[in-house]
Structure 1
Amino acid sequence: MKRLLAALCLCSIAAVSHAEISQKLGSLEVHYNALTTDELLPDVARTYKIERSKTRGLVTISVLQRNKVGVAVPVPAKLTLYATNLSQQLANIEMRAIKEGTAIYYLGDFRVVAPDTLKFTATIEVEGEPRHEMAFTQKFYK
């Protein structure tokens, strides 16, 4: 996770419009990011079997929950994610779980033709929690 997050953070610094963002949903904290895959370092793309392209996007999501001592820890979640473009075309984004040590995060790739703005809508289910929904928008410029 550290390698991917470090790479994504570096990409985010290079392109401020792709900054990682988070939302608080009840007892959950959800971190997410979306970018075109050509921004990934080649080694990172190869490790996670992601095609690097200006027409492919990558969304990353991690779900955290505070433990008894107040530390946010990753928790497994069932994610359903859709993206809608400016033409109102809807695409289902299949998310796959990546587990590295105690880290858990989810990756999904999708087609994007810039310039475009995508609205992502996610349903997040964590055991013992009510189902949560969230949305975020990302502009793609390349």
Structure 2
Amino acid sequence: MNRIRMTACALLLIALMIAPASQAQQFEGFGNYEVHYNVLNSDQIPATVAQGYGIQRSANRALLNITILDTSGETPTPIHARVSASAVNLTGQRREIELREISDSDDAVYYIGLLPVHNMETYNFTVNVQVEGEADPFVVSFRQQFFTE
């Protein structure tokens, strides 16, 4: 991985970790697995990171970030999975969120997708994670309100 891509990856992870408390990263546990999720307005991502990943920065676009960790070993390990996500606003409009997998040479694996949002709009998110070897998908549901002004 070239130095610019490594720097961009590190900056994206930092940006996701320093999001405001109302948008702080959260997770749910499923046996030996944790599904971590985070949503923030994409204008909070540094411009160089957004450019490196082809992310449009805008207060009116939310970035969903999902990471799955295997916690069965001494240290949690990011793993690949089949991940899908959707969101429904309070008026019932449903949006499928197209996720793309990002894998870095330092073993980081995460899934990101963009969603258009309006000021004070609230979405109910549903994330489905199918881990190889698990019979049933892990389902994570959460609600988030967005502020664009």
The answer to whether TM tops 0.5 is yes
Match of 1:123 among 128, 133, 137: 128
Q: What percentage of residue pairs aligned between the two structures are identical?
A: 36
Equivalent pairs counted in the alignment come to 138
The within-5 A match list for 1:83-98 is 83-98=87-102
The residue identity in structure 2 corresponding to 1:6 is I
Instruction: Answer 1 or 2: which has greater strand percent.
Output: 1
- Aligned partner of 2:143 in structure 1 is 137
Matched, 1:6 2:14: yes
Shift of residue 93, structure 1, vs aligned partner: 0.2
TM-score by length of 1: 0.91
Report the RMSD for the aligned CA atoms in angstroms.
1.2
The residue identity in structure 1 corresponding to 2:54 is K
TM-score by length of 2: 0.87
The within-5 A match list for 1:1-142 is 1-10=9-18, 12=19, 15-67=20-72, 69-101=73-105, 102-130=107-135, 131-142=137-148
SS in 2 for 1:97: strand
SS in 2 for 1:124: strand
Shift of residue 26, structure 1, vs aligned partner: 2.6
Counterpart Cα distance in 2 of 1:113 and 1:25? 32
Counterpart Cα distance in 1 of 2:33 and 2:122? 26
Shift of residue 17, structure 1, vs aligned partner: 1.2
Counterpart Cα distance in 2 of 1:9 and 1:34? 11
TM-superposition CA deviations, 1:83-141 (whole Å, max 9, x none): 00111110000110000121100000011111111111011001011321111111112
SS in 1 for 2:27: strand
TM-superposition CA deviations, 1:7-52 (whole Å, max 9, x none): 2223x1xx22111111112321011100111111111111110001
